[in-house]
Structure 1
Amino acid sequence: MPETTPAPCAPEDVRRIACIGAGVIGGGWVAHFLARGYDVTAWDPAADAEDKLRRLVAAAWPALERIGLAEGAAQDRLTIAPTLAEAVAHADFVQESAPEKLELKRSLLAELAAATRPGVVIASSTSGYPMTDMQTAAEDAGRLVVGHPFNPPYLIPLVEVVGGEQTDREAVTWASRFYDLAGKSVITMDRELPGFIANRLQEALWREALHMVANGEASVEDIDASITEGPGLRWAFMGPCLTFALAGGEGGMAHMLDHFGPSLKSPWTRLEAPELDRELRDAMVDGCREAAGGRTYAELVAARDQGVIDVLRATGRLGSTR
């Protein structure tokens, strides 16, 4: 990785963050950074972006208050910039959360690199594109990194950090340190991987769920219950590898693999994605509507947020504020 201009400030000294893109993920980042006591400037080209963003932040704020706000945290520390250039002009860090379209990401990151002060680290929230593919048009590509969150970013701690072929290793180190200070749980990857780590695991489960619905093997409600009432309870505090190690008893993973390993060749799963035709789409939409049980989107978000808070509190992972 080539060297690039040093960041203008240390991660500990970041005060103003620019959030580019104010949808569900971008807005979630805005809420998180505000709750951690930063000044945030946001920009989104949509005409109704400001109203939607302020509603999202307001809806998230009660949950953030329950887990604890940083000193000085306030919703009124959010500024909406009229242009991208004005949004990043004084930023110490930039979080890009534009729609998941490669050409859009590529051109936007190039524009951000040109408009942002030299050395300021720019992170993309992309859920799957390698930074190597996104940074090709940028003049100063060494400071471009992936900072992939999970929804909602203001509650789910995980962020996966990785650079591209042109990314300076110091930019990756800087970003990882910054996210850690900002209250995130950071996985710093040493190589690019399509979908990163968590999304690859999540995608495998999602594909199998779609297959079961498409083939009439299980309902949406039963699939969700099979996780929330089953392995999901373990995964909240112990990942799949350690969970399976316990399945081997005192012999651990060695016994588990020796005993159950042959069954891995059984044709249980179908890793190829199913054809997302109209019938499957409608079955998923109808199934989710039934599973929601008449609850509105806002009610579902509130229930999800409270559930995440309860799990974080029960497992001792409510981080301290900076």
Structure 2
Amino acid sequence: MRSGTDVRTLGVVGTGAIGVSWVVLGLEHGLGVVAWDPAGGAEERLREQVAVRLGDGPADGLRFADGLEEVAAHADLVLESGPERLDVKREIFAALDAAAPPDVLLTSSSSGLMPSTFQDACTRHPERVLVAHPFNPPHLVPLVEVVGGSATSPEAVDAALETLHHLGKRPIHIRREVPGHVANRLQAALWREAYHLVDQGIVSVADIDTAIADGPGLRWSLLGPFATQHLSGGPGGLGHVLEHLGPPMVDWWDDLGHPELTGDLIEKLVDGVDEELDGTSAEDLVARRDQALRRLLEIKTDLGLG
């Protein structure tokens, strides 16, 4: 299975937000990239977005393919970022499997679909199919969740982990398939309570964002929830926290909400975000976010926290 330094060309299928970022990651690491998206005007949009993200960086290693088969035939690793629809995934992976050499990993960026639900569409080599779920934007955020399906070989998982490490990522191996993988399930748990608190009129959308971005989110970005909780226990660490604060936390669990995503709640959330951003353009916010991410990652590396 091709991995690590053997991967010289990335194949990117789907050039939306995630696909563009995969392309940028490959180019920043000096790799060739062959990309494809069936949407009209996709190549022009891709090159515009790559230029914005790379600035003066080299983009001459990017080639836009005529179809899936061309991507599969020329890539050492395929990163699929198409629509989050099972029927589309099955169609894409069947075509990739038919065209790609047998030692080329076929990975999906799916945020929640389990690989076993689409790898059986690959009749030649289902063992090289897995999920490599990044976090947006993948060229900056280090996390990638690697999830094998029922037919995925250990060699394919190892090759994915090695290659992602080589590309500067911090992959984690999800050892059992669950819908939403791990990080999205953690986010969903927080979102559920956030939606409930807004729905009940306890707090505003803007205040929820402040509560996380200027509170625990700052600490979680450095150490994560378990290490952060351990430090809050003083000399006794996590054991002290769980012994003394665990019972009240269980009471909080029992009181957490179970909101329904009704039209009224959706309207509250959307209106709340609009009010919070107050006309700030998404493009401006993304640019400043990405700049801050780069600085934060540099600080974490300098301090041995990344």
Q: Per chain length, whose mean CA-contact separation is higher, i.e. which structure has more relative contact order (CA < 8 Å, sep 6+)?
A: 1
Partners of 1:235 and 1:86 in 2: how far apart? 42
Partners of 2:162 and 2:240 in 1: how far apart? 38
The answer to whether structure 1 residue 123 and structure 2 residue 78 are counterparts is no
The answer to whether structure 1 residue 249 and structure 2 residue 234 are counterparts is yes
Deviation at 1:52, TM superposition (A): 2.0
The one-letter code matched in structure 2 to 1:50 is E
Which segment is superposed worse, 281-290 or 24-33?
281-290
Task: Report the counterpart of residue 91 of structure 1 in structure 2.
Answer: 75
Which segment is superposed worse, 123-132 or 307-316?
307-316
Q: Secondary structure at the match of 1:60?
A: helix
Work out which of the residue numbers 134, 139, 145 in structure 1 matches 2:118. Answer: 134
The answer to whether structure 1 residue 240 and structure 2 residue 233 are counterparts is no
Deviation at 1:51, TM superposition (A): 2.1
Q: Secondary structure at the match of 2:172?
A: strand
Task: Report the counterpart of residue 65 of structure 2 in structure 1.
Answer: 81
| Structure 2 unmatched runs, 5+ | none
Which segment is superposed worse, 99-108 or 177-186?
99-108
Task: Report the counterpart of residue 22 of structure 1 in structure 2.
Answer: 15
- Normalised to the residue count of structure 1, the TM-score between the two structures is 0.89
How do 1:200-219 and structure 2 match up within 5 A?
Answer: 200-219=185-204
How do 1:137-286 and structure 2 match up within 5 A?
Answer: 137-139=121-123, 140-267=125-252, 269-270=255-256, 272=258, 274-286=259-271
Structure 1 residues 10 and 185: CA distance shift in structure 2, 3 A: closer
Deviation at 1:30, TM superposition (A): 0.9
Deviation at 1:271, TM superposition (A): 6.0
| Structure 1 unmatched runs, 5+ | 1-6, 66-72
Q: Give CA deviations for 1:179-199 in whole Å, capped at 9, x if unaligned.
A: 111111111222223222211
Q: Secondary structure at the match of 1:218?
A: coil
The one-letter code matched in structure 2 to 1:18 is G
User: Are 1:124 and 1:146, in contact at CA under 8 Å, matched by a contact in 2?
Assistant: yes
The answer to whether structure 1 residue 45 and structure 2 residue 38 are counterparts is yes
Structure 1 residues 214 and 48: CA distance shift in structure 2, 3 A: farther
Q: Give CA deviations for 1:205-259 in whole Å, capped at 9, x if unaligned.
A: 1111111222222111101100111001111111111111122211111111110
Q: Secondary structure at the match of 1:56?
A: helix
Partners of 1:178 and 1:135 in 2: how far apart? 20
User: Are 1:292 and 1:300, in contact at CA under 8 Å, matched by a contact in 2?
Assistant: no
Task: Report the counterpart of residue 4 of structure 1 in structure 2.
Answer: none
- Normalised to the residue count of structure 2, the TM-score between the two structures is 0.94
The one-letter code matched in structure 2 to 1:81 is A
The one-letter code matched in structure 2 to 1:118 is P
Partners of 1:157 and 1:271 in 2: how far apart? 32
Work out which of the residue numbers 86, 89, 102 in structure 2 matches 1:102. Answer: 86
Which segment is superposed worse, 263-272 or 179-188?
263-272
User: Are 1:160 and 1:189, in contact at CA under 8 Å, matched by a contact in 2?
Assistant: yes
Deviation at 1:305, TM superposition (A): 0.3
The answer to whether structure 1 residue 290 and structure 2 residue 283 are counterparts is no
Partners of 1:317 and 1:93 in 2: how far apart? 31
Deviation at 1:317, TM superposition (A): 6.3
Which segment is superposed worse, 167-176 or 53-62?
53-62
User: Are 2:34 and 2:74, in contact at CA under 8 Å, matched by a contact in 1?
Assistant: no
Q: Give CA deviations for 1:110-133 in whole Å, capped at 9, x if unaligned.
A: 111111112210111011111111
Structure 1 residues 290 and 256: CA distance shift in structure 2, 3 A: same
Partners of 1:96 and 1:142 in 2: how far apart? 16
Task: Report the counterpart of residue 70 of structure 1 in structure 2.
Answer: none
Task: Report the counterpart of residue 95 of structure 2 in structure 1.
Answer: 111
The answer to whether structure 1 residue 60 and structure 2 residue 53 are counterparts is yes
User: Are 1:11 and 1:181, in contact at CA under 8 Å, matched by a contact in 2?
Assistant: yes
Partners of 2:173 and 2:236 in 1: how far apart? 31
Q: RMSD in angstroms over aligned alpha carbons?
A: 1.8
Partners of 1:83 and 1:233 in 2: how far apart? 43
Deviation at 1:280, TM superposition (A): 1.4
Identity %: 46
Q: Secondary structure at the match of 2:177?
A: coil
Deviation at 1:48, TM superposition (A): 2.1
Which segment is superposed worse, 43-52 or 190-199?
190-199
